Amino acid sequence: MNISRRHFLGVAGGMISSAAAGNCKKVFAARQPKAPPNPYGCVVDLTACVGCRTCEQACNRVNHLPPPKERLDDRTVLDQKRRPSTGAFTVINSYYSGRLDEQNQLVPTYVKVQCMHCQDPACASACITGALSKKDNGAVHYDKSKCVGCRYCLVACPFQIPAYEYFDPLTPRVRKCTFCYERISMGGKPGCAAACPMEAITFGNRQILLEGTRRKITANPVRYLNKIYGESEVGGTSWMYISKDPFEKLGFLSLPHYPMPHLTETIQHSIFAYMWAPITLFAILTGAMWKINPEQINHAPGFQAQEDHI
Ligand code: SF4
Ligand code: SF4
Ligand code: SF4
């Protein structure tokens, strides 16, 4: 996914930029990174997660999602490299980095996947109606009443997170982790963080979390790599991770440390500046994606193709 998504963005950006005959440069130049000043965040300690899927169960419960096909305590799904979907806003996947235990057995690392709630989210920037927006508390919030179903957000997300209810012909929605917006707005914790029996998910003010996590890493150099994934990727995310194993061996993407919306805002500006029909732009984006590598799109490392994604 890493290569295909970035190549896709590059190709799509090139196509759109060419079509816009250089005027997009003004858009790139004018844009300043946007982020709320004091958002909440979560840090997932991958050395503490035991893959119990209690967080998945809690997420399913607090979001009133339908029962999944596989039981929520079935641990055989951990090796399937699932991705979030319309029916599961978070999933746990297992990876083997090559680390061995005392019995010379490979040690699994369990990785929780959900919307990263980017500080400056590409999905919100791509949304032409404002249906997705970054809130002051850190949540990237979806407002169904504003959504026109264009699905630019699905294309724009560098983590391939939003899913679409293709199965619903009348009122399809974009679905993704909500950061438990209502719960945290009322002073509570996200359902998954509250439920984790290993306290692997720490919720709090993002800046204070970062400072505490840096101290934790410094105090435990054998247990943790000196890296907080999400501290600066795509301009920073509200969900962040610490690990003993290299992140690239755990399905994490190597992404630039600047916000991604420069392309997606170009899409928006192109729609209005050149009066292109949204379907035309969507066709360009989708065509570019398939042109780059359809195999990688459907079989991206760390993810499994599902019909509610592109
Ligand atoms: S509940 Fe906690 S320990 Fe269990 S899978 Fe989720 S993050 Fe890992
Ligand atoms: S991970 Fe994707 S869906 Fe979530 S906020 Fe970032 S761009 Fe949006
Ligand atoms: S923050 Fe809420 S919606 Fe997101 S994964 Fe956790 S429980 Fe699910």
Compute the mean pLDDT over every residue in the chain, rounded to the nearest whole number. Answer: 83
36-50, 68-82, 186-200: segment of lowest average pLDDT: 68-82
Q: Is 140 in the pocket of ligand 2 (CB under 6 A)?
A: yes
Pairing between β-strand 174-175 and β-strand 163-164 as defined by DSSP bridges: antiparallel
Query: What is the total count of domains within the chain?
Result: 1
Residue nearest to atom 1 of ligand 3 (CA): 179
Q: In the structure, what pLDDT confidence band is assigned to residue 69 with cuts at 50, 70 and 90?
A: confident
pLDDT at 162 > cutoff 60 = yes
Cβ of 285 below 6 Å from ligand 2: no
- Could you tell which of 47, 196, 240 is best to mutate to test the pocket of ligand 1, judged by most ligand atoms within 8 Å of the CB? 196
**pLDDT band (50, 70, 90) for residue 135:** very high
pLDDT in tens, 93-112: 999 999 999 999 999 999 99
pLDDT at 70: 82
Q: Output 303 or 142, whichever has higher pLDDT.
A: 142
pLDDT, average across residues 182-193? 97
* pLDDT value of residue 5: 44
* Residues within a 6 A CB radius of ligand 3: 58-59, 62-63, 89-90, 114, 177-180, 190-192
258-272: pLDDT as tens digits: 887 665 665 555 555
Atom of ligand 2 nearest to the CA of 140: 5
- The CB-side HSE value for 88 (13 A sphere, CA atoms) comes to 20
Q: Is the CB of 115 under 6 A from ligand 2?
A: yes
Phi/psi at 296 (5° precision): -70, -30
Least confidently predicted of 61-75, 94-108, 236-250, 267-281: 267-281
Best substitution site from 42, 57, 89 to test ligand 3's pocket, by max atoms within 8 Å of Cβ?
Answer: 89
Owning domain of residue 244? 1-310
Distance 179 CA to ligand 3 centre (A): 5
Range scoring the smallest mean pLDDT among 29-38, 177-186, 205-214? 29-38
Give the burial class of 34: count Cβ atoms within 10 A of its Cβ; 0-12 exposed, 13-18 middle, 19 or more buried: middle
Mean pLDDT within 107-133: 97
pLDDT number for residue 100: 95
Residue 156: which CATH number?
Answer: 3.30.70.20
Q: What are phi and psi of 18, to 5 degrees?
A: -60, -45
Lowest mean per-residue pLDDT among 59-68, 123-132, 290-299:
290-299
Q: Which residues contact 153 (CB under 8 A, 6 or more apart)?
A: 123, 124, 126, 127, 132, 162, 174
Q: What CA–CA distance (Å, rounded) separates 187 from 181?
A: 10
